[in-house]
Chain A
């Protein structure tokens, strides 16, 4: 008997159940994260001026162009509409010093998109955070460019923008290395790094702006509270314990929380969905690992900042973490 009876409805759609869907899709999520980053980016632009705008623009545009070209070359569907390339571009820019030359930014975008994402099969398949892959690549290959930190100045000030200086963590490491004690480091009030008036990569300087963005993401349920809270908490506890043992050698935990890239890392980089564990239990383990490694590198490692390395190392452990934290079966026998 034929399967056509004559009254088939034209233009009817048939799919498996369910037939309704939440409006929150991948582009929506990417957009929310970009919105949450805007305060931090604006502060960076305020304190570092036109060069910051340049870095952000070049990074975002190159990331999107590179992804399009690669996908065209590989005869794949073009997916820049999902917003992940733009987000990677913005995150990468936030991790770079504002004085980064244009070719460094483009090179970073190339590494982030191609080596950090596309060679693994595109969004969803990459094991490492693409922006961090690029940042670490640039840091190791071009250490001078990547550690030349322009000094912050108000946006409309007439001060020269060629003045550079150390970041708070950098100053700390130098002081310990040279003098064996932190008191030699220039005295820092906590207000500067909290609001942003310090040296650093253009997105990490204002802890306040980043915390606000992070709270927005948690409130909107884009990210869960587990990774940021546990990551920051671990750093606080670990550095707190060290500081209590020897306040001359170890800076206080408030300093460690606010200075450096911890806020950017804890709210925006470690929480990247693709490269973090899928269950809440797994996220806690991941966050503790990030916290411990960050402090170890900061205190005893060769680099003043350990956030990027810590997150990348923990990214590598995510498949294992996912395996051991499978949720309890309903009605397990």
Chain B
């Protein structure tokens, strides 16, 4: 079975929620839609307090090519443009507060009925861009940008990421199991845009029923590949390496080796946007972990308050950490005044026993981090550089190649927070760069 060098085998913990069919989440009374739900240039609100909005109506305007708009998740009135804690940065960020009117009325004309196979690539791209689709695996990179690489980059491989290598999460699994047509439909659209006649749908071997279903439903152009269960198989660079043997060059992007990767959920959203004109206002999220009473997979609107999600799933149960995303790369939250975003693949509530809050000690050079690192780095050197704030030494040790997957930190016997040190060193390097540019 295909795989990549390095990596770890954390306990999968998917039994908590993987067999729960997607549950429809009841409409909340108030929605908090963050303005910045993508990587790239900011966007600005184009509605103000008092405006009436309909479901799917665009409410922000992107200020750049690498940017994406957000849309109203339901019909109602804009209460105010205020600030709330952004789950990714932990800082206050602008958000549009909408009081739902309960009617859930679509904006004029929506949903459409179109046949993507007769739409031109410009029309398809336009639909994707207007729908505000971003990478839903968590990175939230604007999809229309990813699907339009510069002319000089020849793309010959399109990969749909159904690996879902993070422990606990099952949202992509349930999506593939219950709505395979959306995933496959979106894949075909992406293939058309990229001008390819074949694609690979990669799934880890711990989802045998999804693999079988996809194999039976997929048209011949989409080849289903089974990958060995190993974290971080779903990381872009590792996925490309395992499937094609190619290595994305240091400092480069997948397009540099002719590959484009999209998450399975993103493909489903692409299909909705092209076939029905539906913008990205809803996603499937796994609410799981032993710290939540009733783990569920929910189909939930963007902007839904987390308090409503937690209540719907029975409430907290000795929660020690609340994480947006998976346990390896997710972001721990301190406030429950936050809402679901486009990239929220999971809301993971961990008890103290299931997480790690111990103190760290000195590196014992055991070498486990070196074996685990999928990017062939020496994480212990980076952690020692981090303790001394020596970002130049870290740069010499390929600091910028680190994808922050967390494999090294998971195995370190001394409990060293290696990823935190890497993030800190990268922040120091950015600050020093900014200073020298400004000087």
Contacts and interface: CB of A to CB of B under 8 A. Distances in A.
Interface of A: 1, 3, 5, 7-9, 11-22, 24-26, 28-29, 79, 82, 121-125, 224, 273-276, 278-279, 326-333
A18 B370 contact: no
Contact of B332 (A8, A11, A15, A121): A15
29 contacts: A7-B307, A7-B337, A8-B335, A12-B322, A14-B90, A15-B357, A15-B417, A15-B420, A16-B417, A16-B420, A17-B325, A17-B406, A19-B323, A19-B350, A20-B356, A22-B410, A25-B413, A124-B362, A124-B363, A124-B365, A124-B414, A273-B364, A275-B365, A279-B370, A279-B378, A327-B370, A330-B374, A331-B248, A331-B249
B237 A20 contact: no
Contacts of B328: 17-20
A331 B252 contact: yes
B334 A8 contact: yes
Contacts of A329: 250, 375-377, 398, 401
Contact of B414 (A25, A332, A333): A25
Contacts of A79: 361
A277 to B, nearest CB: 8
A12 B334 contact: yes
B113 interface: no
B355 interface: yes
Given A21-B410, A82-B361, A124-B363, A16 B335 contact: no
B83 A273 contact: no
Contacts of B348: 19
Contact of A14 (B83, B252, B332, B414): B332
A34 to B, nearest CB: 15
Nearest to B404: A17
A294 B335 CA distance: 61
Contacts of B333: 12, 14
A124 B354 contact: no
Contacts of A19: 321, 323, 327-328, 330, 332, 348, 350, 355-356
- Closest A-B pairs by Cβ, 3 of them: A18-B406, A124-B362, A21-B356
A interface: dominant SS:
loop
Given A15-B417, A25-B415, A278-B370, 7 more contacts: A13-B352, A16-B420, A21-B415, A25-B413, A79-B361, A124-B414, A333-B251
Contact of A331 (B237, B322, B356, B364): B237
The bracket for how many chain B residues form the interface is: 35 or more
Interface string B348-385: 10101011111001111111001000111110100000
Nearest to B362: A124
A137 to B, nearest CB: 23
Contacts of A5: 85, 335, 337
A16 B357 CA distance: 11
Contacts of A25: 358, 413-415
Nearest to B403: A330
Contacts of B251: 333
Contact of B92 (A3, A14, A124): A3
